[in-house]
Amino acid sequence: MSVLVGVTVVTKPLTVALVAGDLPAAAALLDQNVVFHSPALATTGDEVHGPTIVAKILQTVFACCGAPRNVEEFQNRDGRYIVTFDGSIGGNLIQIATKITENSAGKVESIRVFARPWPIVKLFRECMEHDLRPDPIPDAIWNLPG
């Protein structure tokens, strides 16, 4: 399935589900060992993992940023792809890029988030922290190194 977003066609099932706002469909695409990396978290490895936690994170992203706008998808032949989109926090533009890796079964193994500009990323972190700390993401992952 593909979806036309503005003048961009997105084809990867996770992107299609997220653009449609279909979080249950997005959650069904997550591998049992899916790993999530974000500039909002003080992770050094694979501390944030599992479909339940990642689905809750995706739900919180929608609550914080609204539906994605200006979505573009860039695919690599090896199964990795990048999705870029705009969101809004308190009326402020946040630009997000996600690098996504799928396994041979088409399940999402890894989501790595990059975002800008920093002052709005800070607001994004605060919004995410409100809904995700300490459960399901423990305090240690929110605490920045001293």
Binning the chain into helix, strand and coil, the percentages to the nearest 5 are 30, 35, 30
- How much is the pLDDT for 40? 85
* Phi, psi of 28, rounded to the nearest 5 degrees: -65, -20
pLDDT in tens, 32-90: 999 999 888 887 776 899 999 999 999 999 999 998 999 999 988 887 899 999 999 99
- How much is the pLDDT for 93? 97
Residue 7, pLDDT > 50, answer: no
Q: How far apart are CA 141 and CA 134, in angstroms?
A: 9
Location of structure tokens 């979806």: 3
CATH T-level fold of 3-134: Nuclear Transport Factor 2; Chain: A, (3.10.450)
- How much is the pLDDT for 78? 81
- How much is the pLDDT for 58? 95
Residue 3, pLDDT > 80, answer: no
Spatial contact of 39 and 24, defined as CB atoms under 8 Å apart? no
